[in-house]
A and B are shown apart, each in its own frame.
Chain A
Amino acid sequence: MNHRFLERGAAWCGLVYLMLFGMGWLVLAHFFPPIAPTRNAAEVARIFEERHVILMLASVFMMCSTWALLPVSALLVMIIRKIEGGVGMVTLMIGFTLATYLVMNFYTPFSFALAAFRPDRAPEIVQYASDYAFLQFMGGIPMFLGVWALSAYAILVQSPRENPMIPRWFGYFNLWAAILYLPELLVFFFKDGPFAWDGIIGFWIPAIIFIIYFLLTPFILVPVVRKHFS
């Protein structure tokens, strides 16, 4: 059976994911930068009340971006399996971490939707749901850091030096991304300054890496599918 149509499509889906998620997070919700963690409950609740419909629509876009993340995740697992020469530890681990990433990718906007659902709710409850979303997405790295760390391992350690399936520079890029996502754990400790979820290390650096990564995926994945999947 020929699955090349699905595989070719999947190679572009990282970009589609970025567009859908960005449509919600950036274009509609204007969470770029996010609502500051220093804002009090009344201020946060007012944002969700005044922009109620738009924020709900943004949440729906972000939730639906999970659909685009699904095929590109599957393709990544298949590529790692080819690199490993069968289903080994790295294939399974990257599969599991992509699965939790998919879950997180749904539950972050779901929490925004929860915050926007009843505008007449007590402000503290709205803030709770909003905090839940931001902390989950920025501090959720234990759920998804493995995607970058394991990709780096597969590309740099498990692949042959000559004619690797994925270029080695992308392996180093993945390693760099994994290291720069790590300080995001600090969002749990700070409400202000560069480590907070709207700060340079808590938000801007990881956000820019996130965008670069998904912009790069078609350039990496389309040639891989063309050469190695037939």
Chain B
Amino acid sequence: MNQPGINSSAMGAGERKPPHIPGEAELWIFILGDLVIFGLFFAIWGWNHASQPALFAEGGAQMSWAIGLANTLVLITSSAAVAAGLTLVRQGQGTAARRAYQLAAALGGTFVVLKVVEYSQHILAGASALNNVFFMYYFVFTGIHLLHVLVGIGALLLVIRRCRQLQPNTPPGERDVAFLEGIGVFWHLVDLLWIVLFFLIYLAS
């Protein structure tokens, strides 16, 4: 992101540059829309938790705290790698940036594998989304989140391809930066949503 201080000091008073929007302005319709929907999911979870505390305590006890925490750390690290990748692109270091994005995508893949392990453990233990409200919301909300992770990994693969096309030691074009920022914003959204889910499902229950 641009520091507003730099903008205002470089330009004369009265002709302030419009504030920088990461990605493109239109993308934020999608990001904010998604946040509203997940906000609704979180409210549904909270309301059900409050009305059936015993059921949610019992369900929460069956959650694998270790896998949940591992996934949280995996996504936070992945987000950091995406941020590092963007910085490297800005410095004209396309090859190093590609490695950072490859790490981010691999960590995304790790999240998916851990989630599948977790799901299969619950299913083998007899948990059902159909007759237990806790597991219904657990499977559906984390499933919709997992769909976002898969979309994000696909987007990161596009980013890796784009990094190959960058000229070494040359600052990237505005178009490239907007593309990388946009996908970075989406990946941070996926990370942020998971942190809230982790708190609600693994810690608060």
Contacts and interface: CB of A to CB of B under 8 A. Distances in A.
A43 B27 CA distance: 46
B136 A179 contact: no
A167 B25 CA distance: 12
B30 interface: yes
Contacts of B136: 190, 193, 195
Contact-size category for B: 10 to 19
Given A176-B33, A176-B34, A194-B44, A183 B140 contact: yes
A140 interface: no
Interface string B39-82: 01000100000000000000000000000000000000000000
A171 B26 contact: yes
Nearest to B34: A176
B147 A169 contact: no
B173 to A, nearest CB: 12
A182 B147 contact: yes
A200 B40 contact: yes
A179 B40 contact: no
Contacts of A169: 25-26, 29
At the interface, is chain A mostly helix, strand, loop or mixed?
helix
A172 interface: yes
B200 interface: no
Interface residues of A, number: 21
A173 B29 CA distance: 7
Interface string B98-135: 00000000000000000000000000000001100100
A81 B144 CA distance: 32
Contacts of A193: 133, 136
B24 A168 contact: yes
Q: For B25, B33, B40, which residue has the most chain A Cβ atoms within 10 angstroms?
A: B33
Nearest to A205: B37
21 contacts: A161-B175, A167-B26, A168-B24, A171-B26, A172-B27, A172-B29, A172-B30, A173-B29, A175-B30, A176-B33, A179-B34, A180-B33, A180-B37, A183-B144, A186-B140, A190-B136, A193-B133, A194-B44, A195-B136, A205-B37, A205-B40
